[in-house]
Amino acid sequence: CYLSSGTKKNIHPFSRRTTRFYAESISGEQIYESLSHFGEYAGRTVVIKYGGHAMSDASAALCFAQDMVLLQRLGVNPVVVHGGGPQIGNMLERLSIPSSFIDGLRVTDAATVEVAEMVLCGSINKQIAAAVTKAGGHALGLSGRDDSLILAEKLIKQVQNDKGELDLVDLGFVGHPVNVNANLLHSLLNQSIIPVIAPIASNSLNPDQVLSVNADTAAGAVAAALGAARLLLLTDVQGVLDADSNLIQEITPNSAKGLVADGIIRGGMLPKIQTALDAVKAGVEGAAIVDGRVPHTVLKELFSTFGSGTLIVPDHATATSFPSSQKKKKIQQHIM
């Protein structure tokens, strides 16, 4: 991080002193590599789902805010969709409101969704927007309920019972996005404002009803609506690992089927992969599951050859339409 230790603390993140400091430890080849990727994203939109360690650790959160500002200065249009599950859980515990989960999704009653909206929209959302502004950017905190930014329908979950049969389970005030007001986001991006979105939506059939939306799912819907160049899902793991715990650099819809069948993709990674696959199917050029514990993980994923996690691209990806993806594959094959 720019301000991670000792003598760096008094150096402005974008000052010439900082530039000289880092130039001493970066090779010309690394600089060339990064610069060669800038053109791929200039003037284009990148949607980042922000959560986990990158949001809960103060130093990592500062790095993230500075990275969003840097992206903006490089001509990229970042859009942030954030989570906040642990913070919601802490507040529910403080208020003595019990929590329950089904397949990783919180069962949300009226009291819980009220707390979720309070924490996500009233606390976390404003903290992130303020951090980006403090770092020198322009950000606006939004809820999915603002100007009907995200409309959702109630999510009914299919769960396998002890007999192997599928039961339909009502998760309460939990929703799945059905519409995103892309015009609102384009308007903000055209004014060089970074939208920071809390995943709280209005029910499409009853706008007065509040629905909590999974942050990954909300980010995927936003990326699809904007026709984003990239969707980045920040996690607390490296990405998708193979049977030998090695990072899988790239996945396509076809290869994903085999990885699921073989049990490589399982547990909490399943819904993330599905979100990424849905986004790619909807027109997003690529979706990456990246390690949010790595400093500047967003910059590393976008502007380096090997990225910072697992990249999901369409089956028909070509060197012309996905230059960084193909470059990654070719170099990896050469090394192997």
At 262-320, the pLDDT tens digits run 999 998 899 999 999 999 999 999 999 999 999 999 999 999 888 889 999 998 764 33
107: confidence class by pLDDT, cuts 50, 70, 90: confident
Mean pLDDT of 217-238: 96
pLDDT of residue 36: 66
pLDDT of residue 7: 38
Mean pLDDT of 107-132: 95
24: confidence class by pLDDT, cuts 50, 70, 90: low
Pairing between β-strand 194-198 and β-strand 139-143 as defined by DSSP bridges = parallel
State whether residue 25 is helix, strand or coil: coil
What DSSP assignment string belongs to 32-67?
A: HHHHHHHHHHTT-EEEEEE-THHHHSHHHHHHHHHH
pLDDT of residue 326: 46
Say if CB 13 and CB 3 are below 8 A apart: yes
How many residues in total does the chain contain? Answer: 336
Say if CB 220 and CB 288 are below 8 A apart: no
What DSSP assignment string belongs to 299-311?
A: HHHHHSSS-SEEE
Pairing between β-strand 166-180 and β-strand 150-160 as defined by DSSP bridges = antiparallel
Q: In angstroms, rounded to a whole number, what is the distance separating the alpha carbons of residues 179 and 149? A: 8
State whether residue 294 is helix, strand or coil: coil
CA nearest to 200, candidates 272, 148, 271: 148
At 58-102, the pLDDT tens digits run 999 999 999 999 999 999 999 999 999 999 999 999 999 998 877
26: confidence class by pLDDT, cuts 50, 70, 90: low
Please give the mean pLDDT across all residues of the chain.
86
